Amino acid sequence: MAEVRQGLAAALALAACNAMAAGGHHAVDDAAILEPAQCELETWVMRTRSGERLLHAGPGCRVGPVELSATLDRERADGAWAGAHSVQVKSVVALTREWTVGASATPFWRPAGERGTGVLLLATWVRGAWTAHFNIGHDFIRGSGGTPRSGASVEYAFDTRWSAVGERYVESRGHYARAGMRWQVTPTWNLDLSHAALLRGSGASSWTFGSTWQFDRR
């Protein structure tokens, strides 16, 4: 029972704090925002090794110089549903043709009345078929010191439609490694499949299948 609760809490924390991560459900966020007047909808389903299931929906839009997004997450464990939700504000600036940096703030609300705000510093490097993302930050939780967050990811594009993603990250006192594939079905729609392995600490390994759709709100 304790492992089920632990896996549920880690899954909800991961989803609530990473609504607009690079590649949708991937844990390491990018220093990039949508184009003006552009929006996107991210959805995914995740299943942990201990059997919990999480459903995620996250719309977001470019508003002036920032990107605003929201999330709604529902997970089933022990025959009951629990929910978490959050909002995010993200801003970025290009330093060079290869480097972009930014920051995000994500107030979140989790089960059992837990509230807090995740703060991340972001960096993205792009050269040819290679893209790398770097994160460092902290989840500030009301009534406690919270937990640190950090991570790095690398993506290689085989062509205009297929790419592979690898991540190493720390979140909610768990250390993870993730590997996945992305398929660009159309210029505005992609699908992702990945496996996140818990290396040590709290949490649970999981499989995730996601979809991201971008559209113009005008």
pLDDT in tens, 130-142: 999 999 999 999 8
Full set of structural domains in the chain with CATH: 2-216 (2.40.160.40)
pTM for this model (two decimals): 0.86
151-166: per-residue pLDDT in tens? 999 999 999 999 999 9
Which of 51, 106, 62 minimizes the C-alpha distance to 84? 106
